[in-house]
Every structure is written in structure tokens, then in C-alpha cells.
A and B are shown apart, each in its own frame.
Chain A
Amino acid sequence: MELLYALGKLYPSTRLFTRKSQLVAYESDGLTAFRAEPLAVVVPESQEEVIETVRLCYQSQTPFLARGSGTSLSGGSMPVEGGIVITLNRLNHILRMDPENRLAVVETGVVNLKVSQAAAPHGLYYAPDPSSQQICTIGGNLAFNSGGAHCLKYGMTANHVLGIKAVLADGEVVELGSESADTVGPDAAGFFCGNEGLFGVALEATLRLTPKPQRYCTVLAAYDSLEKAGHAVSVVVESGLLPGAMEIMDRLSMDAAEAAVKAGYPKDAQGLLITELEGEKEAVEEDFKQLLFLIEKTGAYETRIAKDEEERLMIWKGRKSAFSAVGQLSPDYLVQDGVVPRSRLGEALAKIKEYSKEAGIAVANVFHAGDGNLHPLIMFDGKKDGTLERAEALAGRILTMCVQMGGSITGEHGVGVEKKKYLPEMFSEIDIDCMKRVRRAIDPLEIANPGKLFPGGEAPALTTHGAHPLEKAGIISRE
């Protein structure tokens, strides 16, 4: 309680929340199946306040985590029971816009899309575009090395972060990387990206800005099966074309997106391939001819081209709303982001369909097809006993399949709390032990976002939902 007293001296009562009625809003992030109540939430207005808060946590050995807009889909920004939540929403300033060097220095509470908006007058933008880009913050993007539809061509967050200023878990303030894309020695900023909050709190980021493409060409191709759409992706990529984005939606996710934003997708398609070409005008025109040829060859029965910017934005709005829109079809869902090799997409989709049928649980599919990043949305009604557990089991089966096919358990959402028990499917004990040692070198007390990423520890789900029936029977365990 000494910590609360110290925080009370650091923050006025309007920026220090300790009552249940204030804390409930922070209990979970974009993954509501998991919840935890923090000891307190603080709303710093300066970097110094963040640093001081971390130091106080270190002194009192209290767990903490930083939170931006709380849109994590893996429970990464869910509070740690009894810990401190440091919200960064007021550290939302763009500190420097440097169009000549094509970079921006921002505080980490800045919303992703705001960076692109601020860069727009200079003909630049910030390339990583998670579907939640209108609200997710740069800090969360850094912590989870976020991707997005256009990462196919441009790479993930780590490819666009040049430098980071952060306060580590023991209160030390460090500056990693520089303003140059080429660093001497190890890529410390790249190393920090994707730490899932286990190293400390990023305060500032130097971001690389990209010139806006001269021309976009967005093509919708409708297929009578999802597998055909999946196969088309391999064909396009094999041909040597590199579109800005290649996305696939199945019938269920199209239905959801239609209900939400009326995007105008083809009504009876079972698989929809969205391909966006971008770049210089002449190149896009040439690529477009080739793309149409390939799409026809792969059996698309209808092809549409966005005729103006408004139509293009509508296509993307539908696609980017799809996760949340599934809420229109089902009261609860789990969303996974396992990855499979692009060449095995069709096969993976067929398997998901089979698993879904066997489990009797509907699965909607919407994914970054170009880089093989699946997003099965597993729908369930949590009111019915045992359904969450069955949905989790199906999710696990899909993740295991991804690893077996030579892929990964997560492409961009991170491990968080949700996938930590599947980490050993990808990494050996020695690998995981090595990662833990790296973590302890930076966070010796293990107070920065503990209970996430690594398997083991009390799974927060147990506090709200109780143990899985099979766990109670001693048949399975979370380890």
C-alpha cells in the first residue's frame, strides 16, 4: 500500500484510479474472454511520470504494464492482477515531423493512423496498417511487432522503427537505434520490437515514413470456393508479382462485414480475394494486366475493380471491420493469427473446415493471404457451459496444424495470455529457457507484464472461468 501512497503523491486523484467503478473499464482489452483487476490505473501526462511510476513499481516489486487503446487480441494489454496499469493515451504528441529525412518522432500513445494523417501533407505515410489502425497506438504496435494488410510488401512494424526511447523494467532509461536505417552493431530497436511489454515501457519512437504510392489499383476476385481463392494467392506470388496487399474473406466474414458497413462485396462468393497493386502508374498498369490474366486462370467467376478512392476505402473498411463485425453473427469469438507457408494455404483452409465441422463450431476466415497469415474467427456462445473450452480446444488444434505445416502460432497479434501454452509447440525447452534469460537480464524481478508470453503461471482465465473440465479430471494441463 506504500506504492499507492507514493502514486497518490505523483498523480492527482483525477489521474489515479483505484475504485472498482474506475477500474472495470481496464479489466480487459480486445479479448474479453480474459479479465483481471489491477490494483490501480495511472494516467501520466509526461514521460517523467511514466519513468517515475516504473521506478516506484520496481522499488515495491509490483507488476505493471503499459496500455494504449487496449485493442490487443491476445490479451497482451490485459492488466496483471494486483498490478499497475500505466495508460499512455495522453502521451499522444507527434514530437517531430521530418519529411526531408522521411521520419517522424512520436510519443508512443499516438494512434497509428494519426501518424499517417500528419505525414499526408508531405506525400508520406506510415506503412504498417493493422486493421485497428484508426485507434491502436504506436506503443502497442511496437510491443507486438504489429502487421496489417500491407505488410506483404512493406514488412512489419520492426521494419519501420528506427529508434526507441524506453524505460526498462528496473527504471533505467535507454535509447535504442538511431535515425538511420543502417545501424552499427546489433539492431537494438529491432530487438525491442515484439517484446510484448516484458522489457518495460516504450516512451518515444522514431518511425520511418514511406512515400505515398502514385497509384492504387484494388481488385476483387470472387471464387466459388475458399480453397480456390487460397490457391490463387500462390499462383500470383509465384508469377513474381508483389502486390501491396492480398487478403481473403470467406462467406461468413463477408456477411459480417456487409452487416456492419455495407461494403458491397459479391453476394454469393464463397471466397473473395482482395488484391491491391500500388506504385508508379505505368508499373501498376502493367501488373494489372498480368493480375487479371492470373485471376481468370485460377477460376474466379467475377472480377471487380474499385472505380474510385471512395470505393477502394469502402472495400478496406469492410475488410478492416471484419473482426468486430463477427460480433453481429456470434455473441463471443476467439480470433487466432497462426501462419502457414503461402503455398499450403488451400490445404490449411480445407483442414480448418474439417476441424470446424468435427467440433460443431462455426469458423469464419478472413486473412492476410499474401503472407499466409490466417485469422480463423472461432464463434461460440459463452453462456453455454463448456463452449469456451471447446472453442479454445479448436483454436489449439488449428495452431498445432500451423506449426506442423511449417508455420507459426502467431503472425502479428502476439502470444499474450491467449497462446502462451502453445509456445512449446514452436520452441524447444532450451529455446524458451534462453528467451527467459534474456528477459531476466532486462527485467530481473519479472515485474513487466508478467504472466504473458511464457507458458506457466496462473492462467488469468482460471480466475474468471475456472479450470477446464479436462484439467479438473487431470487429463490435460496448461503447462
Chain B
Amino acid sequence: MQHVIDKKSLGPKVNALTQGVEACVHCGFCLPTCPTYDTLGAEIDSPRGRIFLMKEVLEGSVPMEEALDPIDNCLGCDACVTACPSGVEYDHLITAFRAKAEKERRKPLGRRILRSMILNTLPYPYKARLAFKMGKLAIPLSAILPKSLKPALGLLPRSLPAKDSIPEIYPAKGEKRGRVALLAGCVQQVLAPEINRASLEVLSANGIETFIPRDQACCGALALHTGVEKEARKTARQLIQSIPENMDALITNAAGCGSGINEYSILFAGEKEESEARTLAGKTKDISTYLNEIGLLSPPELPKPLRVVYHDACHLAHAQKERKAPRLLLNAISNLSLLEPPDWEICCGSAGIYNIEKPELAKQLGQTKAQNLLSTEPDVVALGNIGCMTQIEKHLESYESPPPVLHTVQILASAYNQDS
């Protein structure tokens, strides 16, 4: 569509900020897949409505401050990107726009405290661990804490799993077929260390040696997706430096991280590390994509039938366009039947730290997702993202004997481990 945005004023992010505006034909095909449009039912809370709004802000006819509500409402799930026939890169647009908004907005104290608490702890495993423990101490005090902090407390795990010290190099079993680096992740290490363990076991069973650099850091996705670029770049820089060039791939096992690294071209636009960041992004693959590419060695048959419903994490299905690989991997396990939930494309409401900042909307989406998954009568819920895992587990809790929620590699690992 037409616009009169002054492109020169936008700096290195100009393409991300204008491609979506130019390519959008306003056809409305994004509307039925948008979780906020579906829930709130107003055009301004739809992808094309937000594109109009962002255009107006960039053109200077609407002040940034007035546009923030609908922009903040967006989960960044990217379902609209999958649905768009016209090729609008809404994902890049909203990421770049949020970075701009974050610089220009007024920041009330409550929001500043919450943001800083989240972004200074979650990306650092040691601090996250401590924070989860401290947070639990705060639960009895929740009546006297600011309202904006309560949803965060509600998401705290009841108990933390034991710390798992993974080695720096995890060897391949049998004939060596490749060598990769693993992004150990930040908050996932604390909440579900078994995902990394299972990843290493599955890679190893497939002849892949894994290097887990000790000096790696958070990929920055959490901060990037909320517009706090400076924080994001701080840890991302360290990650880039820690990954040796001679690796076949950098493996991610949290969809949010994979999609975050894919957006390094925006995060580092105009920075001196831009080309290194792009190279690393090009090498980064979700573990399901990688295993599928190298050809999964058939796992042994399960002793009894298992009904598995697969939940598409937005940042894998929409942002990384990977729906096939996890299904092919799970289908490779004999005696496992794969189930598909209704409305797969609609977000579960986790969306990074959305469930902390917009608890009401996140709750509605979480409840609907739980119902849709349960309607398939599964033994297990499979997925590929720690954020979805926490959110879905929370909303399954209220049902009687809810199915366990596992990462795809955990199911694979348990299939391989039957032998040993």
C-alpha cells in the first residue's frame, strides 16, 4: 500500500520498517489467525490494523504514545505471516517497530521494575534460578505487592528440577556423522534441564557430536521480542563470539531462541558485528529441522501404543516455518500415533513474556489451547518450546490427570533409551 514515510529518517532498519507497509494489500486474510483479533474483535487489534497504525506513526500523523496499546497487545506469534498471501514480513516490522517504540515511550515505574526484573534474571541461568527461589518466598506477600507483579508469581514453578551439569563435549555414538554446537538456553536450563539432556542423547544416537560452549550466553530473543535491543545485543554478542566457525550448525531446542537468532539481521542492522551475526543466523537450526535433514536413525518401537498430540509453537511453525520436521520425527517412532489439535495456528498465549505483561489475554488463549489439545484425548502433549511448555502445563493443571507436556526430543530420547 502507499505511504509517505520519510525513509531517510529510519536508519539501518528502514527495510524491516517499510517492507510490510508496502507489501500489505489489506485483504484481511490475516484476521482469522490473529489471536488478539479473535479475542478482542476489533480491527485495531489485527495485523493489518496494526500495520496501518504503524504506518501512521512512521508518517508522523499519530503520536507514538497513542499507538502503544494495540502494539503492546500483539503477541508476536507471527501466525499472520503464515497466513499472508502477499508476503508481508510482519514479524520483522513489529520487531523493528517495538525497538523504536521502546526508545521513545514513557516508561511508568511499575513497568520499568517488572521489565528490569525479567530481563536481568531470565536470560542468566544462575540469576534465574535464584529469582525463582526468591520469587517463591514472595508468594505469601503477593497481597501487598504491585498488581503488575502478580502474574509473574503465578507462573513460578512449584519446585525446581535439580541442576544438570552437562559436559562441554558430548560424543557421538557409532559412526560420526557431524558436529554441532548447542545453544543451552537460559531459562530453559533452569526450568527443564532434561530438554538439553534429551537433545544431547538424541543427537548422539544419530552420530552427532555436540559442543556446548561454556562461555555462551542468552541469544537475546526475550529482550529483542520486547523491543529492548540494548539488552538483547549485550548477550547476543557474547553468543556470537562463543560459537566456533567450524561447526556444521548451531542447534536450538527452544523455538523462541531459534526465531530470535533468525532476526539478528534486524538486531545488528548497522552494528559492526552485522555480518558475523548474519552468518550465525544462517547456520542456526532448530533441532527438529537438523535431525530431519541429516536423516533420523529409526528409533526402536515403543512397548505400547502412545497417543501424542503435537502443539505447533508459533516461533517454530510461523516464525521458522517448520511444521513438517517434528511430525516426521515423531512419526518415525513405531507404535506412536500423532494427533492434530483444532486451531493449530492460534497462539497458546505464552509468547515470550506476554503471559506476564498481558495476563488476561494470555489466560483466555491458554485455556482455549488446553481445551483444543485435550479434545484429541492424548497420552502426551509434544512441542518444541519452553515458553509454550510452561503456559500449557499451567492451563492443563486444572484438569484431572492432565497429560504430561514434553519436548519432541524428550519423546525421541525415551524411545532410543529403551535399549540401554
B53 touches A24 (CB 8 A): yes
Q: CB-defined interface of A23-46 with B at 8 Å, one 1/0 digit per residue?
A: 011111111110000000001000
Interface residues on B, range: 20 to 34
Contact among B2, B23, B49, B56 for A327, CB-based, below 8 A: B23
A134 touches B29 (CB 8 A): yes
Q: Shortest distance in angstroms between A168's beta carbon and chain B's nearest beta carbon?
A: 25
Expressed in whole angstroms, the Cα–Cα distance for A332 and B27 within the complex equals 12
- With an 8 A cutoff between CB atoms, is B25 at the interface? yes
B66 touches A32 (CB 8 A): no
- With an 8 A cutoff between CB atoms, is A349 at the interface? no
A30 touches B28 (CB 8 A): yes
Residues of chain A contacted by B24 (CB below 8 angstroms)? 327
Q: Shortest distance in angstroms between A227's beta carbon and chain B's nearest beta carbon?
A: 27
Contact among A21, A22, A70, A324 for B25, CB-based, below 8 A: A324
- With an 8 A cutoff between CB atoms, is B204 at the interface? no
B87 touches A25 (CB 8 A): no
Residues of chain A contacted by B347 (CB below 8 angstroms)? none
Expressed in whole angstroms, the Cα–Cα distance for A120 and B403 within the complex equals 30
Q: Shortest distance in angstroms between B10's beta carbon and chain A's nearest beta carbon?
A: 16
State which residues 80-131 of A face B: CB under 8 Å: 87, 89-90, 92, 111
Expressed in whole angstroms, the Cα–Cα distance for A89 and B32 within the complex equals 12
Contact among B1, B22, B43, B61 for A25, CB-based, below 8 A: B43
Residues of chain B contacted by A33 (CB below 8 angstroms)? 2
- How many A-B pairs have beta carbons closer than 8 Å: the answer is 116
- With an 8 A cutoff between CB atoms, is B337 at the interface? no
Size of A's binding interface in residues, CB under 8 A: 45
Please judge, given known A-B contacts A327-B24, A331-B22, whether A21 and B53 are in contact too, CB under 8 Å: yes
Residues of chain B contacted by A21 (CB below 8 angstroms)? 44, 53, 56, 62-63, 66-67, 70
B27 touches A324 (CB 8 A): yes
Q: Which of A17, A22, A27 has the most CB of B within 10 A?
A: A22
B28 touches A71 (CB 8 A): yes
A324 touches B2 (CB 8 A): no
- With an 8 A cutoff between CB atoms, is B404 at the interface? no
Q: CB-defined interface of A367-392 with B at 8 Å, one 1/0 digit per residue?
A: 00000000000000011000000000
A25 touches B46 (CB 8 A): yes
- With an 8 A cutoff between CB atoms, is A422 at the interface? no
Contact among A19, A43, A135, A331 for B32, CB-based, below 8 A: A135
State which residues 56-74 of B face A: CB under 8 Å: 56, 61-63, 66-67, 70
A260 touches B26 (CB 8 A): no
B41 touches A132 (CB 8 A): no
A328 touches B1 (CB 8 A): no
B53 touches A25 (CB 8 A): yes
State which residues 307-354 of A face B: CB under 8 Å: 321-328, 331-333
Residues of chain A contacted by B46 (CB below 8 angstroms)? 25
Q: Shortest distance in angstroms between A312's beta carbon and chain B's nearest beta carbon?
A: 19
Residues of chain B contacted by A134 (CB below 8 angstroms)? 29, 32
Residues of chain B contacted by A146 (CB below 8 angstroms)? none
State which residues 57-95 of A face B: CB under 8 Å: 69-71, 87, 89-90, 92
B43 touches A325 (CB 8 A): no
Residues of chain A contacted by B63 (CB below 8 angstroms)? 21
Q: CB-defined interface of B31-42 with A at 8 Å, one 1/0 digit per residue?
A: 110000000011
Q: Shortest distance in angstroms between A65's beta carbon and chain B's nearest beta carbon?
A: 14
Contact among B23, B31, B50 for A331, CB-based, below 8 A: B23
Besides the known contacts A25-B49, A327-B87, A382-B2, 9 further A-B residue pairs in the complex with CB atoms under 8 A apart: A20-B62, A21-B53, A24-B44, A25-B46, A70-B26, A87-B42, A136-B28, A324-B27, A325-B85
| Complex A-B, nearest 3 residue pairs according to Cβ-Cβ distance, in ascending order | A327-B86, A25-B49, A324-B85
**6 A-B residue pairings within 8 Å (CB atoms):** A20-B66, A21-B70, A24-B53, A132-B27, A259-B87, A324-B27
